[in-house]
Structure 1
């Protein structure tokens, strides 16, 4: 009952916010005169004012009178801000969370350089990506589209439906839809050449784009072709930026409450407490505190503050921080894309089209080196330095544990490539009497390759490190014991005392390469029809309907060691499965009130879709059917003042990866509340063939205003959203699994493995339909365009656009309780990122004659670092609490970007040549230094790069 009351209170509060905003706007603007704002007038109407189909609906309309909120990102925004791809533009839109971008890829091997869209912070897989209204070929086995594969140079606009749209498009449109509209009627040739670099000499990037087109077949046909090349050279390691130079870490306080210090300390100068480049002895206590220099000589290990033999970090001392050095903030990648489009009028009433595209992204990253904190070393190991051996003999110590950072053994090196081919061909026609139809076939295939070299094989590494002698010669113990069944002739003894003391044979035996090859394939056949069968007292009733058949398959294999989860990290995965979908839908718009003299209008919109799914894979098969629907309305009491509301039921079916992929292993830093230690532990991630579909109940309510008179060109909209996802397919995160078990949610405890001393040795991050997700908030959009005095006799133009999102809730709930990450601006290790309470993006452009200047301000509201912890700033803070922390707040941040463009006419063409340049993060603002899931801050939200310069030229003939 409390949850229901909280939800009701939240919705009431959001309605009051919308209402207050509306009242303020009405009071300030007087009598309105039009509908919703857009960035590009071409998004609302075609040439001649003909209606078009706007995203979120299958029915053509004469403007943005859809009941579903829609945001438009025009091509001019990408050009004004010098952006190289649509993914970068969307990541700055407040409704999105930039979860996957180059600066979050860093040490990971999969999809290096990719950009995925995460609308509402509900996860990439809950945002549907369309190109020209059709599903794009998936780039990953999660069905996600890499936006880098779509050439930015021919994007006309991007329409974003910020609400559920499964009734219109099917599965995955839970958070909303991104529909990228390409410009297929290019006449002539145009292109762009640009480059960029940071003030620190890294972050280099070049872009070359070329597109052209012309009429053919005596004007009854047209072709457009485009090509784009982008090379990104990456960013230096974390020590090249101030936030990381402070070496932030999470320290466990052995005695919470002593001297007023809490249980968890976020502090700078964090060092590895149990590893050293040449090795350090951790147990027993009689030998602990001895380390080995590069030559293998024993020397004292100076322990820092809060040292613990079971904790990952300490402050200061001789510790070494292996988590930041050498690993790049953003990896290198290279991408290119090719695109061709052909249209032709086949008869007076039938036209056809053909789309061909190919895109490829290849990336390289540097991963972590091996880190071992408890390697057992027996007394008969011949590599033990003589002084230590003598101490062991004198004190009757049979063995000790060695902690070692393996930088001398080299880092793992990642490489991935994604190549996507797409073909779409279709027909469309006019049946007369306002009836139109279209049908198309689409084929898409993606080939994905992933390889990581120099990865530790822990079982082999430990066999090689466990050395004895045989005939006075060092050998692996497995080859010298009394059991011949465990002999391994390839095993070579590994000397870990000092640096570079090992043999190449031992290194080759202990390290290997992971390999993965996967192919995704999609086939789509669809047909649609729409028209106006009859009229009501208020005007014609519009209807649309259609059917779609779609198959998605994924097949691929990995190396044998990966399949056995034998590598320390980066194990490749195998997959073999497919899905088959048949669906049909119907939609209608019924006018209930209409006036020819600018009086009130009222339209009702409804849609329903029935979908049948079948899944088949190596681990099983399943099937189910689902019905999704939407109902909404638009009320315009006076011309220009518009209210809209939508209620929908949406679904997301499990994808092939979630159902049928093999298990993989990674390393995660986890705070164990039971042992009060921070450790790096293996995390197992696996599929689940028994998953069922997610179900989302969504509603939006909003208002748009555009006044006339003295405020002609001014527009405003506010839309409240509430999305509740039940039966959510999700992984809680490694840290959350541990926290939930400790908090009493016993179903999480089987996913944690502890050794005989109670130390966590493995955690499984499960994938189940066990959680519910909920998000709510308000999107605001304000735009103003007006003429102003220019230089000389020129007339200037001022264009202002503000996008802002207030996030009220971003909640995950399971049997262990409820976590609301709205307002969380930190990215704690082992957990999910949150969303700021407020995000805003303001773009102001002033143009006069050939010159235009654009300023962009991006605002991130102050927030909480970790909503699962309690700091001195929080209610209920007590340093004796196991989740108490020394600080838990991050300040607000504002980034300022400036760009200038200058057009040079040639041969009567005013747009023949344009020179442009700009500065991003003008004041070189860096984030607060705090231990994060990715280095020294939350690089999902904050800018780790600093000041960056862009320069280039565009031409059109």
Structure 2
């Protein structure tokens, strides 16, 4: 018989090998057989005979879910790396009631979209989405699965909001960090995240919690319930869950870190020959060209700029602005810099409400067939404060009635007009209100049977989902009405009116006073503001069949083969009132209408070649109704020379087809200007931002090489190291008017097709600003994953419990996005536009039967404001528009420390209870600070709320 230590060593050796093919019978983080855990639960509700029957049902009828592979073989050793979060990880480590916040802490994710960093997504409809982004390649290039199937998208771009999943029933989360298009289809360029549900759960579990920040804001609470039971002698099973979560919004920024005030400004002492940097970083600073009550930025007349610097305060008071020790046309260092909003009056986090319902019914109609039906419904609303209005160049003529009243006629004798900048504190802040409901209905079957004398697995399903969104922006300025209301004069009766009302008294215009705070009338505010909205519906039909079998064996062992096919149809439709399609400062919604379908077939095989050596390969044929036929493939292998080490490698060809938004985006219009390179003149342009139906799929070549080490002389320890390299060609990127004209001038015909004469004849050109297949993205790096499980009695015989240590880190060596319009720059370590050099996360859990404590350390390494800057203080090179010099380019990284405490107890044999407390950012560490005019912090990798507390109770019957 094995000793305990040997058993542990063998167990972790097996788990490490299966890190590329996660086994559903094994809890990979804690090495506890799931079947045993399920049997333990069953004993609380069933007799021993019933428990054995349930275990037998699970073993014989449940189809194995293997992430990263279609081969349903728990013993296969996939060459593709997979990271796993288990139920225990989720319970002990999740910082919020949102599972995406935990998943996004894994170092493989970089640049994910969250409710915090999407607060300014005014016109895209994606505000509030929790969308996962692997490798910083964009969330549209990361595929999200639920039990190995595509799940309902939440946006017209195809992004899956993790909030819509039944989080209470998630058994584990598997993250494939390599191209997987050959197995799963389009969008899996950067990898796959698979949420695996506990479909055979029996019992009842309830969770309730509440949280708050250390500043007394950000109050949140949630409750969730899930239950499952068998019927008809366990041939049938019912699974139900529901949850509700609420979070109070934080609609202003009162954190001290936002008072940093550093700004990047042009160096006033710079000359082409003195060797000083072109830019300098200085503070404290603030915006000087737009103040809450308005400031005169320039004036025209016989004495130019004679009124520059006059600003208006409470009740229209007239004051002179102090521009400080250093100033530019937009920024002041010192002086009256504090007068500006400086990002204080913008939302820090949204207010949100979300509701989820999920149900599943399954029945074993035969020993080889289980039929099931699933239904899910999600409803969510996210409300943001998108900040104050911003107008930097309001033109007031010298006869403007409010200007004359404020300054007097004498002060305006030599002035023809003034330009005023304001953030209009009298106006309500812009508000985003995004509402979504997502419905999903799935019908399918699965089972195991004998084929070629071996166990084979099959599955088939059909799924329909519909997502309806209502995207609304409140308090948006109408540019036409702003122009009319600004031109205020006195009528013959001496009353201030709009000039346009003198000739058209019934036009409804109400004059607006921009000069001061507390001076605007409610009528003028109501006149110039509106609430544009768009309604969209996105429908998806997916059906698929899969068969995994072992048709024959070679001298080295069984050969596994998986085959299958999939059909997918996606459609979008929408509605926008005509009044909201143009003429607004932001928004200008257009409805998107269009669709496409996809037909796919694949084959995958696992072939043992010799003892310890195996080949894995897959190929998929895909036919898009919009962009034609493509082939994706993957080849890889594993080599295990000794029990302690496994080598693995894959090479894959992956694709991402353009989504409906990229193909058929309804678009927005604006009037702009371009420099015409053919004649050197400036042309006016009607620019329409739309989709491009001629887009073709992106193509990626991905390489992953690594190893897994589980040394027998350190029982319970394993470490994996993997190098990855992804090169994406024909990447889809949005271009705008000037770039399109420039590229056409250089002879690129795909851009010339977007340029033509304005059909209305009112402008020189009409340009269709669309996405094109023109960019290249290359990224590479190293993933490190190490874990160690140590029963404490092995070092302290009288101490019980288990210590589990897990560390993960990703080192991004290269990230280059090359559009061909400017020099390609490696942005790894660039805080503003690339992934950090290092992203890391370490956790340690000490658990006893009735108590556990988990500590988490996570963060990113220091980096640069921008990798395009050249840092120097003297002897700087000559100015280069692409690589300007700057005296300070470094940004500190982040380090956050979290704690979780869980106490377990049983109450009068009623059920198992857990009381927990989670403290996030225990040291109240600051976020990554960046010198910019708005919020002074990075919102992607930082903790903006500061120290937060969340406590609650769980119980299970």
Q: Mark yes or no: TM-score above 0.5.
A: yes
Paired position in structure 2 for 1:249: 263
Paired position in structure 1 for 2:443: 425
The answer on 1:729 being equivalent to 2:729 is no
2:721–2:782 CA contact under 8 A, matched in 1: yes
Paired position in structure 2 for 1:463: 484
- Write out aligned runs for 1:562-711 (5 A): 562-564=580-582, 566-594=583-611, 601-614=612-625, 622-664=626-668, 686-708=690-712, 710-711=713-714
2:893–2:928 CA contact under 8 A, matched in 1: no
1:323–1:368 CA contact under 8 A, matched in 2: no
Paired position in structure 1 for 2:680: none
CA distance in 2: counterparts of 1:613 and 1:875, whole angstroms: 56
How far off is 1:389 after superposition? Answer: 4.4
Q: Relative to structure 1, is the Cα distance of residues 530 and 917 closer, same or farther in structure 2, using a 3 angstrom cutoff?
A: same
CA distance in 1: counterparts of 2:948 and 2:877, whole angstroms: 41
**DSSP 3-state at the match of 1:212:** strand
TM-score, with structure 1 as normaliser? 0.85
CA distance in 2: counterparts of 1:312 and 1:703, whole angstroms: 52
CA distance in 1: counterparts of 2:670 and 2:383, whole angstroms: 18
Paired position in structure 2 for 1:273: 288
Paired position in structure 1 for 2:818: 813
Gapped runs of 5+ residues in structure 1? 1-28, 595-600, 615-621, 669-681, 753-761, 828-832
CA distance in 2: counterparts of 1:608 and 1:342, whole angstroms: 34
- Deviation track 1:689-714 (CA, whole Å, cap 9, x = no partner) reads 32211000111111111122x41111
The answer on 1:36 being equivalent to 2:17 is yes
Paired position in structure 1 for 2:776: 772
CA distance in 1: counterparts of 2:623 and 2:524, whole angstroms: 55
1:581–1:611 CA contact under 8 A, matched in 2: yes
Query: Which of residues 575, 592, 596 is equivalent to 1:557?
Result: 575
Paired position in structure 2 for 1:21: none
1:121–1:834 CA contact under 8 A, matched in 2: yes
Paired position in structure 1 for 2:857: 857
How far off is 1:527 after superposition? Answer: 1.2
Paired position in structure 2 for 1:344: 363
CA distance in 1: counterparts of 2:444 and 2:396, whole angstroms: 69
1:104–1:934 CA contact under 8 A, matched in 2: no
2:292–2:340 CA contact under 8 A, matched in 1: no
The answer on 1:394 being equivalent to 2:418 is no
2:119–2:128 CA contact under 8 A, matched in 1: no
How far off is 1:906 after superposition? Answer: 3.1
Paired position in structure 1 for 2:6: none
- Write out aligned runs for 1:369-388 (5 A): 369-386=388-405, 388=407
**DSSP 3-state at the match of 2:841:** strand
Paired position in structure 2 for 1:830: none
CA distance in 2: counterparts of 1:255 and 1:418, whole angstroms: 53
**DSSP 3-state at the match of 2:728:** strand
How far off is 1:746 after superposition? Answer: 11
Paired position in structure 1 for 2:324: 304
2:873–2:886 CA contact under 8 A, matched in 1: no
2:342–2:934 CA contact under 8 A, matched in 1: no
CA distance in 1: counterparts of 2:317 and 2:540, whole angstroms: 60
2:188–2:655 CA contact under 8 A, matched in 1: yes
Range that drifts further, 33-42 or 98-107: 33-42
Paired position in structure 2 for 1:948: 948
Gapped runs of 5+ residues in structure 2? 1-8, 36-55, 300-304, 673-685, 756-765
Q: Relative to structure 1, is the Cα distance of residues 236 and 498 closer, same or farther in structure 2, using a 3 angstrom cutoff?
A: closer
Paired position in structure 2 for 1:68: 80
Paired position in structure 2 for 1:147: 162
Q: Relative to structure 1, is the Cα distance of residues 468 and 730 closer, same or farther in structure 2, using a 3 angstrom cutoff?
A: same
**DSSP 3-state at the match of 1:60:** coil
2:456–2:550 CA contact under 8 A, matched in 1: yes
CA distance in 2: counterparts of 1:53 and 1:467, whole angstroms: 69
- Deviation track 1:623-642 (CA, whole Å, cap 9, x = no partner) reads 31111111111111122421
How far off is 1:272 after superposition? Answer: 2.2
Q: Relative to structure 1, is the Cα distance of residues 951 and 733 closer, same or farther in structure 2, using a 3 angstrom cutoff?
A: farther
Q: Relative to structure 1, is the Cα distance of residues 644 and 218 closer, same or farther in structure 2, using a 3 angstrom cutoff?
A: same
Q: Relative to structure 1, is the Cα distance of residues 747 and 493 closer, same or farther in structure 2, using a 3 angstrom cutoff?
A: farther
**DSSP 3-state at the match of 1:383:** helix
How far off is 1:202 after superposition? Answer: 1.4
The answer on 1:176 being equivalent to 2:191 is yes
CA distance in 2: counterparts of 1:281 and 1:944, whole angstroms: 34
Paired position in structure 2 for 1:451: 472
How far off is 1:453 after superposition? Answer: 1.3
- Deviation track 1:108-155 (CA, whole Å, cap 9, x = no partner) reads 443443211000000000000000010001100000100011122110
Paired position in structure 2 for 1:887: 888
CA distance in 1: counterparts of 2:949 and 2:811, whole angstroms: 31
2:432–2:473 CA contact under 8 A, matched in 1: yes
Paired position in structure 2 for 1:516: 534
The answer on 1:542 being equivalent to 2:568 is no
**DSSP 3-state at the match of 1:535:** strand
CA distance in 1: counterparts of 2:739 and 2:884, whole angstroms: 15
> Cα RMSD between the aligned structures?
3.4
The answer on 1:410 being equivalent to 2:445 is no
How far off is 1:943 after superposition? Answer: 1.8
**DSSP 3-state at the match of 1:222:** strand
1:331–1:363 CA contact under 8 A, matched in 2: yes
**DSSP 3-state at the match of 2:116:** helix
The answer on 1:159 being equivalent to 2:174 is yes
How far off is 1:318 after superposition? Answer: 5.8
2:157–2:659 CA contact under 8 A, matched in 1: yes
2:687–2:769 CA contact under 8 A, matched in 1: yes
CA distance in 2: counterparts of 1:184 and 1:325, whole angstroms: 47
2:267–2:280 CA contact under 8 A, matched in 1: yes
- Deviation track 1:229-279 (CA, whole Å, cap 9, x = no partner) reads 1111233522x2222122333333345359976333333332222223332
How far off is 1:92 after superposition? Answer: 0.3
The answer on 1:77 being equivalent to 2:89 is yes
Range that drifts further, 246-255 or 571-580: 246-255
Q: Relative to structure 1, is the Cα distance of residues 912 and 699 closer, same or farther in structure 2, using a 3 angstrom cutoff?
A: same
CA distance in 2: counterparts of 1:93 and 1:549, whole angstroms: 32
**DSSP 3-state at the match of 1:625:** strand
How far off is 1:409 after superposition? Answer: 1.6
Q: Relative to structure 1, is the Cα distance of residues 880 and 603 closer, same or farther in structure 2, using a 3 angstrom cutoff?
A: closer
CA distance in 1: counterparts of 2:823 and 2:875, whole angstroms: 18
How far off is 1:818 after superposition? Answer: 4.4
Query: Which of residues 109, 116, 128 is equivalent to 1:103?
Result: 116
- Deviation track 1:335-386 (CA, whole Å, cap 9, x = no partner) reads 1211111111001221111111111221111122222222221222222234
How far off is 1:99 after superposition? Answer: 2.9
Paired position in structure 2 for 1:20: none
CA distance in 2: counterparts of 1:698 and 1:606, whole angstroms: 14
Range that drifts further, 268-277 or 790-799: 790-799
- Deviation track 1:576-597 (CA, whole Å, cap 9, x = no partner) reads 0111111111111122113xxx
Q: Relative to structure 1, is the Cα distance of residues 207 and 392 closer, same or farther in structure 2, using a 3 angstrom cutoff?
A: same
TM-score, with structure 2 as normaliser? 0.85
Range that drifts further, 835-844 or 63-72: 63-72
**DSSP 3-state at the match of 1:409:** coil
**DSSP 3-state at the match of 2:243:** strand
CA distance in 2: counterparts of 1:874 and 1:344, whole angstroms: 76
How far off is 1:665 after superposition? Answer: 7.8
Paired position in structure 2 for 1:129: 144
Q: Relative to structure 1, is the Cα distance of residues 220 and 37 closer, same or farther in structure 2, using a 3 angstrom cutoff?
A: closer
2:897–2:923 CA contact under 8 A, matched in 1: yes
How far off is 1:188 after superposition? Answer: 1.2
Range that drifts further, 41-50 or 845-854: 41-50
**DSSP 3-state at the match of 1:328:** coil
